[in-house]
Copies of this chain bind each other. A is one copy, B any other.
Amino acid sequence: MRCILVILVSISAVWSLSLKREKLSSVSPPDGNWTTQWYEQQLDHFSYGVQQLTFMQKYLVNIDHWNRTGGPIFFYAGNEGSIELFALNTGFMFEIAPEFGAMVLFAEHRYYGSSIPFGKNGYVHKQYYQYQSSMQALADYVELLAHVRQTYEGAEKSPVIVFGGSYGGMLAAWMRIKYPHVVQGAIAASAPVAQFTGLTPCEKFGQVVTHTFALQGQECVQTIRKSWDAINKMAATAEGRAWLSDAWRLCKPLNSTDDAKNLKSYLSDVWTNLAMADYPYMANFLAPLPAYPVMAVCQPMKFLKDEPKEILLEIFEGLSVYFNYSTTATCLSYESSMPSSLDDNGWFLQSCTEMVMPMCYDGKNDFFEPQAWNLTEFSETCVKKWDVRPEPYKMEQMYGGRNLKYASNIVFSNGLLDPWSSGGVLEDVNESVVSVIIPEGAHHLDLRSSERADPKSVIQARDVHKANILKWISEYSNSV
Protein backbone atom coordinates (compact mmCIF):
# COMPACT_ATOMS: atom_id res chain seq x y z
CA MET A 1 0.00 0.00 0.00
CA ARG A 2 1.63 3.15 -1.15
CA CYS A 3 0.54 5.56 1.55
CA ILE A 4 2.48 3.67 4.16
CA LEU A 5 5.61 3.72 2.12
CA VAL A 6 5.34 7.42 1.50
CA ILE A 7 4.75 8.22 5.11
CA LEU A 8 7.49 6.04 6.36
CA VAL A 9 10.14 6.94 3.93
CA SER A 10 9.31 10.57 4.15
CA ILE A 11 9.68 10.53 7.85
CA SER A 12 12.71 8.33 7.90
CA ALA A 13 14.05 10.77 5.36
CA VAL A 14 13.89 13.29 8.13
CA TRP A 15 16.94 11.97 9.77
CA SER A 16 18.61 10.27 6.91
CA LEU A 17 18.49 13.67 5.40
CA SER A 18 20.16 15.44 8.21
CA LEU A 19 22.57 12.77 8.86
CA LYS A 20 24.29 11.49 5.83
CA ARG A 21 25.45 14.76 4.40
CA GLU A 22 29.13 14.98 3.65
CA LYS A 23 31.14 17.57 5.45
CA LEU A 24 31.75 20.22 2.90
CA SER A 25 31.33 23.29 4.98
CA SER A 26 33.84 25.69 6.43
CA VAL A 27 32.44 25.10 9.89
CA SER A 28 32.70 21.40 10.48
CA PRO A 29 29.95 19.83 12.55
CA PRO A 30 31.19 18.13 15.71
CA ASP A 31 32.30 14.60 15.24
CA GLY A 32 31.90 12.28 18.18
CA ASN A 33 32.76 15.15 20.47
CA TRP A 34 30.89 13.74 23.44
CA THR A 35 30.90 10.96 25.98
CA THR A 36 28.42 8.14 25.61
CA GLN A 37 26.44 7.25 28.71
CA TRP A 38 23.66 4.89 29.68
CA TYR A 39 20.75 5.32 32.00
CA GLU A 40 18.62 2.54 33.41
CA GLN A 41 15.23 3.79 32.37
CA GLN A 42 11.81 2.68 33.58
CA LEU A 43 9.88 0.82 30.92
CA ASP A 44 6.43 2.07 31.88
CA HIS A 45 6.01 5.51 33.44
CA PHE A 46 2.24 5.56 33.65
CA SER A 47 1.31 2.20 35.08
CA TYR A 48 2.89 0.65 38.11
CA GLY A 49 2.80 -3.05 37.54
CA VAL A 50 5.89 -3.24 35.41
CA GLN A 51 7.88 -0.58 37.16
CA GLN A 52 10.67 -2.98 37.89
CA LEU A 53 11.22 -3.56 34.20
CA THR A 54 13.86 -1.27 32.79
CA PHE A 55 15.95 -0.78 29.69
CA MET A 56 19.25 0.94 29.03
CA GLN A 57 18.80 4.31 27.38
CA LYS A 58 21.75 5.83 25.58
CA TYR A 59 22.63 9.49 25.91
CA LEU A 60 25.50 11.69 24.81
CA VAL A 61 27.01 14.47 26.84
CA ASN A 62 29.38 17.29 25.98
CA ILE A 63 30.50 19.56 28.81
CA ASP A 64 33.42 21.26 27.05
CA HIS A 65 31.86 24.68 27.33
CA TRP A 66 29.56 24.14 30.25
CA ASN A 67 29.53 26.82 32.90
CA ARG A 68 28.98 24.84 36.07
CA THR A 69 27.60 27.79 37.93
CA GLY A 70 24.26 28.22 36.28
CA GLY A 71 24.99 27.29 32.67
CA PRO A 72 22.02 25.85 30.81
CA ILE A 73 21.47 22.31 29.58
CA PHE A 74 20.78 22.10 25.85
CA PHE A 75 18.76 18.93 25.54
CA TYR A 76 17.99 17.21 22.24
CA ALA A 77 14.79 15.13 22.30
CA GLY A 78 15.87 12.22 20.16
CA ASN A 79 13.64 10.99 17.39
CA GLU A 80 13.33 7.90 15.22
CA GLY A 81 16.94 6.84 14.81
CA SER A 82 20.31 6.36 16.46
CA ILE A 83 21.09 9.31 18.67
CA GLU A 84 24.58 9.74 17.20
CA LEU A 85 23.00 10.64 13.89
CA PHE A 86 21.17 13.55 15.46
CA ALA A 87 24.18 14.67 17.43
CA LEU A 88 26.25 14.67 14.25
CA ASN A 89 23.68 16.70 12.41
CA THR A 90 22.37 19.25 14.86
CA GLY A 91 25.46 21.40 14.67
CA PHE A 92 23.56 24.49 15.77
CA MET A 93 23.42 23.28 19.37
CA PHE A 94 27.18 22.73 19.49
CA GLU A 95 27.85 26.00 17.70
CA ILE A 96 26.02 28.12 20.24
CA ALA A 97 27.02 26.11 23.33
CA PRO A 98 30.17 28.21 23.97
CA GLU A 99 28.39 31.56 24.05
CA PHE A 100 25.73 30.17 26.43
CA GLY A 101 28.15 28.10 28.54
CA ALA A 102 25.84 25.17 27.88
CA MET A 103 26.03 21.46 28.55
CA VAL A 104 24.95 19.64 25.39
CA LEU A 105 22.89 16.52 25.94
CA PHE A 106 21.35 14.17 23.37
CA ALA A 107 18.93 11.45 24.49
CA GLU A 108 18.04 8.46 22.39
CA HIS A 109 14.36 7.69 21.87
CA ARG A 110 13.25 4.32 23.23
CA TYR A 111 13.03 1.52 20.65
CA TYR A 112 15.50 3.24 18.31
CA GLY A 113 19.24 3.01 17.87
CA SER A 114 20.76 1.15 20.80
CA SER A 115 17.98 1.85 23.29
CA ILE A 116 15.74 -1.08 22.50
CA PRO A 117 13.92 -2.71 25.41
CA PHE A 118 14.00 -6.50 25.27
CA GLY A 119 16.88 -6.30 22.82
CA LYS A 120 16.40 -8.45 19.76
CA ASN A 121 12.87 -9.26 20.84
CA GLY A 122 11.91 -5.58 20.89
CA TYR A 123 9.74 -5.78 17.80
CA VAL A 124 8.81 -9.43 17.93
CA HIS A 125 5.60 -9.34 19.90
CA LYS A 126 3.19 -6.75 21.28
CA GLN A 127 4.12 -7.80 24.76
CA TYR A 128 7.55 -6.31 24.07
CA TYR A 129 6.77 -3.30 21.92
CA GLN A 130 3.65 -2.02 23.67
CA TYR A 131 5.74 0.57 25.51
CA GLN A 132 6.73 2.39 22.35
CA SER A 133 4.87 5.72 22.48
CA SER A 134 5.62 9.42 22.44
CA MET A 135 4.21 9.83 25.93
CA GLN A 136 6.56 7.21 27.33
CA ALA A 137 9.46 8.80 25.44
CA LEU A 138 8.73 12.22 26.93
CA ALA A 139 8.58 10.71 30.40
CA ASP A 140 11.95 9.05 29.69
CA TYR A 141 13.40 12.46 28.93
CA VAL A 142 11.99 13.97 32.11
CA GLU A 143 13.43 11.13 34.16
CA LEU A 144 16.79 11.29 32.40
CA LEU A 145 17.03 15.02 33.03
CA ALA A 146 16.36 14.47 36.72
CA HIS A 147 19.16 11.93 36.70
CA VAL A 148 21.59 14.27 34.92
CA ARG A 149 20.76 17.08 37.33
CA GLN A 150 21.68 14.81 40.21
CA THR A 151 24.77 13.39 38.56
CA TYR A 152 26.53 16.50 37.31
CA GLU A 153 27.54 18.81 40.10
CA GLY A 154 26.19 22.25 39.39
CA ALA A 155 23.41 21.00 37.11
CA GLU A 156 20.78 20.77 39.78
CA LYS A 157 19.32 24.18 39.04
CA SER A 158 20.43 24.63 35.46
CA PRO A 159 17.75 25.82 33.09
CA VAL A 160 16.93 23.30 30.37
CA ILE A 161 16.26 24.21 26.75
CA VAL A 162 14.89 21.40 24.62
CA PHE A 163 15.67 21.13 20.90
CA GLY A 164 14.35 18.84 18.23
CA GLY A 165 13.76 18.55 14.50
CA SER A 166 10.91 16.81 12.69
CA TYR A 167 9.43 14.18 15.04
CA GLY A 168 12.09 15.32 17.51
CA GLY A 169 10.70 18.83 17.10
CA MET A 170 7.23 17.60 17.93
CA LEU A 171 8.67 15.96 21.05
CA ALA A 172 10.50 19.17 21.96
CA ALA A 173 7.30 21.23 21.73
CA TRP A 174 5.25 18.61 23.56
CA MET A 175 7.85 18.37 26.29
CA ARG A 176 7.52 22.07 27.00
CA ILE A 177 3.73 21.78 26.79
CA LYS A 178 3.49 18.84 29.18
CA TYR A 179 6.44 19.50 31.47
CA PRO A 180 6.96 23.27 31.66
CA HIS A 181 8.38 22.79 35.16
CA VAL A 182 11.16 20.65 33.69
CA VAL A 183 12.15 22.49 30.50
CA GLN A 184 12.22 26.26 30.26
CA GLY A 185 11.73 26.54 26.52
CA ALA A 186 11.68 24.59 23.26
CA ILE A 187 13.16 25.04 19.79
CA ALA A 188 10.84 22.93 17.65
CA ALA A 189 12.15 22.79 14.10
CA SER A 190 10.04 21.45 11.22
CA ALA A 191 7.69 19.89 13.74
CA PRO A 192 4.45 18.79 12.08
CA VAL A 193 2.42 18.80 15.31
CA ALA A 194 -0.78 19.16 13.29
CA GLN A 195 -0.16 16.56 10.58
CA PHE A 196 -3.10 14.59 11.92
CA THR A 197 -6.69 13.79 11.01
CA GLY A 198 -8.94 16.81 11.01
CA LEU A 199 -6.13 19.26 11.61
CA THR A 200 -4.51 19.40 8.18
CA PRO A 201 -6.16 18.35 4.91
CA CYS A 202 -4.49 15.18 3.68
CA GLU A 203 -3.71 16.73 0.28
CA LYS A 204 -1.67 19.57 1.76
CA PHE A 205 1.61 17.67 2.08
CA GLY A 206 1.75 16.68 -1.59
CA GLN A 207 0.89 20.23 -2.57
CA VAL A 208 3.94 21.57 -0.79
CA VAL A 209 6.17 19.01 -2.51
CA THR A 210 4.70 20.17 -5.80
CA HIS A 211 5.13 23.82 -4.89
CA THR A 212 8.83 23.30 -4.21
CA PHE A 213 9.22 21.83 -7.68
CA ALA A 214 7.04 24.55 -9.20
CA LEU A 215 9.62 27.10 -8.08
CA GLN A 216 11.78 25.57 -10.83
CA GLY A 217 9.04 26.03 -13.40
CA GLN A 218 5.65 24.56 -14.18
CA GLU A 219 7.21 22.46 -16.94
CA CYS A 220 8.98 20.30 -14.37
CA VAL A 221 5.73 19.85 -12.48
CA GLN A 222 3.84 19.02 -15.67
CA THR A 223 6.42 16.47 -16.70
CA ILE A 224 6.19 14.63 -13.40
CA ARG A 225 2.38 14.82 -13.43
CA LYS A 226 2.31 13.24 -16.89
CA SER A 227 4.82 10.55 -15.98
CA TRP A 228 2.37 8.32 -14.06
CA ASP A 229 0.21 7.72 -17.09
CA ALA A 230 3.27 7.20 -19.18
CA ILE A 231 4.51 4.54 -16.77
CA ASN A 232 1.08 2.91 -16.69
CA LYS A 233 1.00 2.77 -20.47
CA MET A 234 4.44 1.25 -20.68
CA ALA A 235 3.75 -1.16 -17.83
CA ALA A 236 0.61 -2.46 -19.55
CA THR A 237 2.56 -4.51 -22.10
CA ALA A 238 5.53 -6.79 -21.87
CA GLU A 239 7.20 -4.79 -24.60
CA GLY A 240 6.65 -1.53 -22.74
CA ARG A 241 7.98 -2.98 -19.50
CA ALA A 242 11.07 -4.22 -21.27
CA TRP A 243 11.64 -0.82 -22.82
CA LEU A 244 11.29 0.99 -19.48
CA SER A 245 13.48 -1.51 -17.64
CA ASP A 246 16.14 -0.95 -20.19
CA ALA A 247 15.78 2.82 -20.60
CA TRP A 248 15.82 3.38 -16.84
CA ARG A 249 18.53 0.80 -16.21
CA LEU A 250 16.40 -0.89 -13.56
CA CYS A 251 18.30 -3.34 -11.38
CA LYS A 252 15.21 -5.54 -11.30
CA PRO A 253 13.34 -5.47 -14.62
CA LEU A 254 9.60 -4.81 -14.50
CA ASN A 255 7.85 -8.16 -14.75
CA SER A 256 4.36 -7.22 -13.62
CA THR A 257 2.06 -4.30 -12.92
CA ASP A 258 2.96 -4.82 -9.24
CA ASP A 259 6.55 -4.04 -10.09
CA ALA A 260 5.34 -0.91 -11.83
CA LYS A 261 3.40 0.03 -8.70
CA ASN A 262 6.56 -0.26 -6.65
CA LEU A 263 8.43 1.84 -9.16
CA LYS A 264 5.81 4.59 -8.91
CA SER A 265 5.92 4.40 -5.15
CA TYR A 266 9.68 4.81 -5.28
CA LEU A 267 9.29 7.83 -7.54
CA SER A 268 6.78 9.48 -5.20
CA ASP A 269 9.25 9.06 -2.38
CA VAL A 270 12.06 10.50 -4.44
CA TRP A 271 10.18 13.70 -5.29
CA THR A 272 9.16 14.06 -1.66
CA ASN A 273 12.66 13.47 -0.36
CA LEU A 274 14.06 15.95 -2.81
CA ALA A 275 11.75 18.68 -1.55
CA MET A 276 12.75 17.90 2.04
CA ALA A 277 16.42 17.84 1.09
CA ASP A 278 16.42 20.98 -1.02
CA TYR A 279 19.39 22.49 0.78
CA PRO A 280 21.50 25.30 -0.66
CA TYR A 281 24.65 23.20 -0.52
CA MET A 282 25.85 19.79 -1.56
CA ALA A 283 24.56 17.11 0.76
CA ASN A 284 24.30 13.37 1.07
CA PHE A 285 20.84 12.02 1.57
CA LEU A 286 19.55 8.65 0.31
CA ALA A 287 22.02 9.44 -2.40
CA PRO A 288 24.56 12.25 -2.63
CA LEU A 289 22.90 15.42 -3.91
CA PRO A 290 24.09 18.70 -5.35
CA ALA A 291 23.23 22.09 -3.92
CA TYR A 292 19.57 22.97 -4.61
CA PRO A 293 18.88 19.42 -5.80
CA VAL A 294 15.33 20.18 -6.96
CA MET A 295 16.72 22.73 -9.41
CA ALA A 296 19.26 20.21 -10.64
CA VAL A 297 16.66 17.49 -10.98
CA CYS A 298 14.26 19.76 -12.84
CA GLN A 299 16.91 21.02 -15.21
CA PRO A 300 16.51 18.17 -17.76
CA MET A 301 12.75 17.82 -17.09
CA LYS A 302 11.52 21.06 -18.57
CA PHE A 303 10.67 20.05 -22.09
CA LEU A 304 6.98 19.43 -22.41
CA LYS A 305 6.41 16.25 -24.33
CA ASP A 306 3.32 14.16 -25.01
CA GLU A 307 4.78 10.88 -26.05
CA PRO A 308 5.18 8.46 -23.09
CA LYS A 309 8.68 7.35 -23.98
CA GLU A 310 9.86 10.92 -24.42
CA ILE A 311 8.39 11.93 -21.07
CA LEU A 312 10.03 8.99 -19.36
CA LEU A 313 13.41 9.64 -20.86
CA GLU A 314 13.21 13.18 -19.51
CA ILE A 315 12.24 11.91 -16.10
CA PHE A 316 15.12 9.47 -16.10
CA GLU A 317 17.56 12.28 -16.75
CA GLY A 318 16.26 14.16 -13.73
CA LEU A 319 16.10 11.02 -11.64
CA SER A 320 19.72 10.34 -12.43
CA VAL A 321 20.68 13.41 -10.44
CA TYR A 322 19.07 11.72 -7.49
CA PHE A 323 20.15 8.10 -7.81
CA ASN A 324 23.38 8.62 -9.64
CA TYR A 325 24.85 12.01 -8.78
CA SER A 326 28.02 10.20 -7.81
CA THR A 327 27.94 8.55 -11.27
CA THR A 328 28.89 5.25 -9.66
CA ALA A 329 25.48 3.56 -9.76
CA THR A 330 25.34 0.66 -12.17
CA CYS A 331 21.55 0.36 -12.06
CA LEU A 332 18.46 1.96 -10.49
CA SER A 333 17.21 0.05 -7.48
CA TYR A 334 13.59 1.05 -6.99
CA GLU A 335 12.92 -1.42 -4.22
CA SER A 336 15.32 0.11 -1.76
CA SER A 337 13.24 3.07 -0.64
CA MET A 338 12.21 1.30 2.52
CA PRO A 339 15.04 -0.51 4.26
CA SER A 340 13.91 -2.90 6.95
CA SER A 341 16.17 -1.75 9.74
CA LEU A 342 14.89 -1.61 13.29
CA ASP A 343 14.45 2.12 13.06
CA ASP A 344 12.00 1.75 10.23
CA ASN A 345 10.22 -0.93 12.18
CA GLY A 346 9.89 1.55 15.00
CA TRP A 347 8.36 4.26 12.88
CA PHE A 348 6.09 1.83 11.09
CA LEU A 349 4.82 0.74 14.49
CA GLN A 350 4.38 4.30 15.74
CA SER A 351 2.49 5.29 12.61
CA CYS A 352 0.23 2.30 13.23
CA THR A 353 -0.64 3.52 16.73
CA GLU A 354 -0.39 7.25 17.35
CA MET A 355 1.57 8.86 14.49
CA VAL A 356 -1.21 8.43 11.96
CA MET A 357 -0.53 11.11 9.35
CA PRO A 358 -3.04 10.99 6.53
CA MET A 359 -1.68 11.73 3.05
CA CYS A 360 -3.66 11.93 -0.18
CA TYR A 361 -3.10 13.21 -3.72
CA ASP A 362 -5.44 14.46 -6.39
CA GLY A 363 -3.02 14.90 -9.29
CA LYS A 364 -4.45 18.35 -10.02
CA ASN A 365 -3.27 20.54 -7.19
CA ASP A 366 -0.24 18.29 -6.88
CA PHE A 367 1.84 16.29 -9.36
CA PHE A 368 1.33 12.87 -7.76
CA GLU A 369 -0.77 10.04 -9.07
CA PRO A 370 -4.22 10.49 -7.50
CA GLN A 371 -4.72 8.48 -4.36
CA ALA A 372 -7.26 8.77 -1.56
CA TRP A 373 -6.39 8.35 2.10
CA ASN A 374 -7.84 5.05 3.20
CA LEU A 375 -7.75 4.61 6.95
CA THR A 376 -9.57 1.29 6.84
CA GLU A 377 -7.03 -0.22 4.52
CA PHE A 378 -4.15 1.26 6.50
CA SER A 379 -5.68 -0.04 9.69
CA GLU A 380 -5.90 -3.56 8.31
CA THR A 381 -2.24 -3.45 7.37
CA CYS A 382 -1.40 -2.42 10.92
CA VAL A 383 -3.43 -5.16 12.49
CA LYS A 384 -1.82 -7.69 10.23
CA LYS A 385 1.71 -6.50 10.85
CA TRP A 386 1.56 -5.35 14.47
CA ASP A 387 -1.73 -6.49 15.91
CA VAL A 388 -2.57 -2.87 16.73
CA ARG A 389 -5.10 -0.40 15.36
CA PRO A 390 -4.29 3.22 14.55
CA GLU A 391 -5.81 5.88 16.82
CA PRO A 392 -6.12 8.83 14.45
CA TYR A 393 -7.28 11.37 17.06
CA LYS A 394 -4.92 10.36 19.82
CA MET A 395 -2.19 12.95 19.31
CA GLU A 396 -4.62 15.84 19.05
CA GLN A 397 -6.30 14.67 22.22
CA MET A 398 -3.00 14.31 24.03
CA TYR A 399 -1.19 17.42 22.87
CA GLY A 400 -3.79 19.77 21.38
CA GLY A 401 -2.68 19.92 17.74
CA ARG A 402 -2.32 23.58 16.79
CA ASN A 403 -4.50 24.69 19.70
CA LEU A 404 -1.61 25.88 21.84
CA LYS A 405 -2.81 29.20 23.16
CA TYR A 406 -2.02 28.25 26.73
CA ALA A 407 1.46 27.00 25.96
CA SER A 408 4.53 29.17 26.40
CA ASN A 409 8.18 29.47 25.40
CA ILE A 410 8.24 27.59 22.13
CA VAL A 411 9.72 28.60 18.79
CA PHE A 412 8.24 26.70 15.87
CA SER A 413 10.44 27.05 12.80
CA ASN A 414 9.46 25.89 9.33
CA GLY A 415 11.13 25.99 5.96
CA LEU A 416 8.65 26.60 3.18
CA LEU A 417 10.37 24.18 0.81
CA ASP A 418 9.74 21.42 3.33
CA PRO A 419 6.55 19.42 2.77
CA TRP A 420 6.25 18.86 6.53
CA SER A 421 5.54 22.56 6.92
CA SER A 422 1.98 21.56 5.93
CA GLY A 423 1.41 20.24 9.45
CA GLY A 424 3.47 22.88 11.19
CA VAL A 425 2.64 25.94 13.25
CA LEU A 426 3.07 28.79 10.76
CA GLU A 427 1.69 31.69 12.79
CA ASP A 428 2.45 33.09 16.21
CA VAL A 429 0.16 31.49 18.76
CA ASN A 430 0.74 33.98 21.55
CA GLU A 431 3.54 36.23 22.62
CA SER A 432 5.86 33.44 23.66
CA VAL A 433 4.78 30.67 21.29
CA VAL A 434 6.10 32.03 18.05
CA SER A 435 6.55 30.95 14.48
CA VAL A 436 9.64 31.50 12.38
CA ILE A 437 9.34 31.00 8.64
CA ILE A 438 12.39 30.23 6.53
CA PRO A 439 11.16 30.79 2.96
CA GLU A 440 14.31 29.31 1.42
CA GLY A 441 14.56 26.50 3.95
CA ALA A 442 14.10 22.76 3.54
CA HIS A 443 13.61 20.30 6.42
CA HIS A 444 14.97 21.80 9.70
CA LEU A 445 17.78 23.59 7.94
CA ASP A 446 18.09 25.87 10.98
CA LEU A 447 19.29 23.08 13.27
CA ARG A 448 22.19 22.24 10.97
CA SER A 449 25.66 23.74 11.25
CA SER A 450 26.21 27.14 9.71
CA GLU A 451 27.31 26.97 6.10
CA ARG A 452 28.64 29.57 3.69
CA ALA A 453 25.68 29.00 1.41
CA ASP A 454 23.05 29.53 4.11
CA PRO A 455 20.36 31.96 3.00
CA LYS A 456 19.81 35.05 5.08
CA SER A 457 16.47 33.74 6.33
CA VAL A 458 18.04 30.77 8.14
CA ILE A 459 20.68 32.99 9.71
CA GLN A 460 17.89 35.21 10.97
CA ALA A 461 15.94 32.18 12.23
CA ARG A 462 18.96 31.09 14.25
CA ASP A 463 19.16 34.60 15.69
CA VAL A 464 15.52 34.34 16.74
CA HIS A 465 16.31 31.02 18.43
CA LYS A 466 19.23 32.54 20.31
CA ALA A 467 17.26 35.58 21.41
CA ASN A 468 14.49 33.38 22.74
CA ILE A 469 16.86 31.03 24.51
CA LEU A 470 18.48 34.04 26.16
CA LYS A 471 15.09 35.33 27.23
CA TRP A 472 13.99 31.96 28.64
CA ILE A 473 17.21 31.55 30.57
CA SER A 474 17.07 35.00 32.10
CA GLU A 475 13.37 34.56 32.90
CA TYR A 476 14.32 31.37 34.71
CA SER A 477 17.31 32.89 36.47
CA ASN A 478 15.12 35.68 37.78
CA SER A 479 12.66 33.16 39.20
CA VAL A 480 15.05 30.92 41.18
Contact = CB atoms under 8 A, between A and B. Distances in A.
Specify which of A135, A142, A397, A405 lies most central, judged by the most chain B CB atoms within 10 Å of its CB. A397
Given A178-B178, A397-B146, A48 B479 contact: no
A397 B141 CA distance: 11
Interface in A376-414: 388-389, 391, 393, 397-401, 403-409
Contacts of A408: 406
Specify which of A51, A354, A400, A403 lies most central, judged by the most chain B CB atoms within 10 Å of its CB. A51
A405 B479 contact: yes
Contacts of A404: 181
Nearest to A131: B47
A474 B136 CA distance: 35
A132 B354 contact: no
B51 A391 contact: yes
A389 B397 CA distance: 31
B180 A130 contact: no
A466 interface: no
Interface residues of A, number: 44
A354 B398 CA distance: 21
A48 B132 contact: yes
Contact of A397 (B47, B133, B142, B400): B142
Contacts of A354: 48
Contact of A130 (B47, B127, B132, B400): B47
A385 B136 CA distance: 27
A45 B48 contact: no
B146 A47 contact: no
A353 to B, nearest CB: 4
Nearest to A143: B397
A296 interface: no
A471 interface: no
A409 B405 CA distance: 12
A182 interface: yes
Nearest to A479: B405
A316 to B, nearest CB: 42
A124 to B, nearest CB: 12
Given A146-B393, A397-B143, A47 B136 contact: yes
A281 interface: no
A400 B44 CA distance: 20
B406 A129 contact: no
Contacts of A233: none
Interface string A23-62: 0000000000000000000001111111100000000000
A182 B401 CA distance: 11
Interface in A325-384: 353-354
A252 interface: no
B46 A47 contact: yes
A404 B408 CA distance: 12
Given A181-B406, A403-B181, A46 B393 contact: no
B400 A48 contact: no
B126 A49 contact: yes
Contacts of A405: 479
A151 to B, nearest CB: 15
Can you list the 6 inter-chain pairs with the closest CB atoms, starting with the nearest?
A: A49-B130, A181-B400, A180-B406, A46-B46, A48-B353, A49-B126
Interface of A: 44-51, 126-127, 129-133, 135-136, 142-143, 146, 178-182, 353-354, 388-389, 391, 393, 397-401, 403-409, 479
28 contacts: A44-B47, A45-B46, A45-B135, A46-B47, A47-B130, A47-B131, A48-B130, A48-B133, A48-B353, A48-B354, A48-B388, A49-B126, A49-B388, A50-B130, A51-B353, A51-B388, A51-B389, A142-B398, A143-B397, A146-B393, A180-B400, A181-B400, A181-B403, A181-B404, A182-B397, A405-B479, A406-B408, A406-B409
